[in-house]
Amino acid sequence: MIYKSIRFRLTLWYSAAFSLSLAAILTSVYFVTKQTLFSQTDSTITSHCNQIIQVFRDSSGRMITFPPKQIFLREFSEMPGMLLVVTDSGGRVVMSSQPDDTQNPEVTDLIEKSTQIIKPTFVERQVGTTNLRLGVFPVKNDESSVGLVIVGHPIDVILASLNRLITILIAIYLGFMALEVVGLYLLSRSALAPVKDLSLKIKRISSENLSDRLNVPKTGDEVEELIHSFNSLLERLNFAFLRERQFIDDVAHELKTPLSVIKSNSEVALGKARDLKEYQRILQETVLDINSLSSTINDILDLSLSEATPPGTALETVNYSDLLVELSEVASKLAGAKEINVSVNVEGNLNISGKRDKLFRALLNILENAVKYTPAGGTVSMKLERQGNSGVCEICDSGIGIEEKDLPHVFERFYRGSAGSEIQGTGLGLAIAKAIINQHGGALTVASKKGKGTTVTIKIPLSKSQPVK
């Protein structure tokens, strides 16, 4: 539903945050303006009160109970709209700018409440039909109170201005909120448009269109990074699908040939009656084809297992040095029939973390290839040494080598290169070895020249428990 969408929630939350911030700012403007206007009014009232108090001082500077009325009226006749009231210490009005004001209940109440004040006080009252800001000042003579001076300043104009200010601020608030909501909605829609496109694209993705890519907006933000990541995911998925399809095609091709031969031999054997030796020959050929088929299937299973380590598989500490020594003995037996010399130079006590049986299979595949592609009387050497935090093994042979055009493909499944038709094999040995070495955090590289032999380098990180030299 729309209220659950990111666009709606972004608009709602940002609008709420903006509205609160704007309300706080405009409220502050109102109260600061109000305080400023009232402060100016209070300054005017204080000035008038100080003038009145001066009238109450005689020539010697002492306070008199009340001045002559003529002096009072003369001093303050130029204050239109102002309320001026003077009381004695008992709260009785002794002078007023307007005699009727003494009967006003607001003024009477204020006088009663202010008889004991010790410092000036400012209040707001409505006297008649006029709103006044009243300043109440105590009049003292030798620290004793002799009366009060009350000065009222009309504030109808100020209140009207503040009311107009409220109306203006509300209009500004509503206008900004309308613009902000519309702007946020359009902005969120624009910002989330690539995400919506991404969602629609994901819904249409299948194994048939993994080569498609999303258009990347040049915004430099998280959305661009997200689309880059999604395109990268599609690229990896497409590569994986193509690889698996190729793998299935290769498996089908590898299984098709021996199965066709077995079928053909069986049909020939059943075509007519034959003597015992002929049946034995056909069965021997069938066994060879079945062995080839079995070898291919076993290699496929090994490759599948080597590329997938079950979660939670416990690693063990493997003595890399002892493993190479053991493999050298196996290599010597493999090379014995061809009189190939096997040399070993292994640095001792190098430990790595992993699965010993898998590592044994990976290195054995490489050694089998070295012996297989080395002619009779050649050499195969094994070397292991520590380089930094890694154990580096080099397996070199003096065999037929690999052509330069074949080198980039030697780790591909079922790839046998130019020598594939001459030497028996499934083309999965190096693919299995590389998968296992990669699984152990290592790296496998091949260097070779046609007719000058091949060097395979296996680099695997040493165990954390390995002593540091």
Residue 90 pLDDT > 60, yes or no?
Answer: yes
Band (74; pLDDT cuts 50, 70, 90):
low
Angstrom distances, CA of residue 119 to CA of 5, 138, 140: 61, 7, 11
Report the candidate in 194, 281, 258, 255 with the shortest Cα–Cα distance to residue 230: 194
User: Region 363-374: what's the mean pLDDT?
Assistant: 86
Band (305; pLDDT cuts 50, 70, 90):
low
pLDDT at 437: 87
- Residue 422 or 147, more confident: 147
Band (66; pLDDT cuts 50, 70, 90):
low
Band (435; pLDDT cuts 50, 70, 90):
confident
- Residue 198 or 310, more confident: 198
- Measured in degrees and rounded to the nearest 5, phi and psi for residue 378 equal -80, -170
pLDDT at 67: 56
- Residue 98 or 392, more confident: 392
Look at the domain 222-306 and name its fold.
Helix Hairpins (1.10.287)
For 226-276, the pLDDT digits (tens) are 788 888 888 888 877 877 776 676 667 667 767 777 887 787 778 777 788
User: Region 280-295: what's the mean pLDDT?
Assistant: 77
User: Which residues, in sequence order, are CB contacts of 416 under 8 Å at separation 6+?
Assistant: 423, 425, 427
pLDDT at 79: 56
Contact 353, 316 (CB under 8 A): yes
For 19-32, the pLDDT digits (tens) are 899 899 999 999 99
Top-ranked range on mean pLDDT: pick from 82-91, 168-177, 349-358: 168-177
pLDDT at 60: 47
Prediction pTM value: 0.47
Class of domain 316-461: alpha beta
pLDDT at 163: 92
pLDDT at 71: 54
User: Which residues, in sequence order, are CB contacts of 56 under 8 Å at separation 6+?
Assistant: 63, 64, 66, 67, 139, 146
User: Region 431-458: what's the mean pLDDT?
Assistant: 86
- Residue 296 or 341, more confident: 341
How buried is 434 (Cβ within 10 angstroms: 0-12 exposed, 13-18 middle, 19+ buried)? buried
- The domain covering 2-161 belongs, at the CATH homologous superfamily level, to PAS domain (3.30.450.20)
Report the candidate in 8, 382, 49 with the shortest Cα–Cα distance to residue 184: 8
For 125-178, the pLDDT digits (tens) are 888 788 888 888 888 776 677 778 888 888 888 899 999 999 999 999 999 888
For 374-385, the pLDDT digits (tens) are 888 888 998 999
List the single range of 49-63, 343-357, 381-395, 406-420 with lowest mean pLDDT.
Answer: 49-63
User: Which residues, in sequence order, are CB contacts of 131 under 8 Å at separation 6+?
Assistant: 124, 125, 154, 155, 156, 159
For 30-44, the pLDDT digits (tens) are 999 999 999 998 898
pLDDT at 312: 43
Contact 2, 8 (CB under 8 A): yes
pLDDT at 260: 78
d(CA 224, CA 197): 12
User: Region 424-450: what's the mean pLDDT?
Assistant: 80
In whole angstroms, what separates CA 410 from the centre of its chain? Answer: 39
Average pLDDT, the chain: 78
Same topology for domains 222-306 and 316-461, yes or no? no
User: Region 208-233: what's the mean pLDDT?
Assistant: 77
pLDDT at 308: 55
User: 71: which 2 tokens?
Assistant: 């002096």
- Domain residue spans in the chain? 2-161, 222-306, 316-461
pLDDT at 164: 94
Contact 456, 383 (CB under 8 A): no
pLDDT at 184: 81
pLDDT at 24: 92
Residue 84 pLDDT > 70, yes or no?
Answer: yes
Band (49; pLDDT cuts 50, 70, 90):
confident
List the single range of 375-384, 411-420, 430-439 with lowest mean pLDDT.
Answer: 411-420
Report the candidate in 83, 76, 114, 115 with the shortest Cα–Cα distance to residue 99: 83
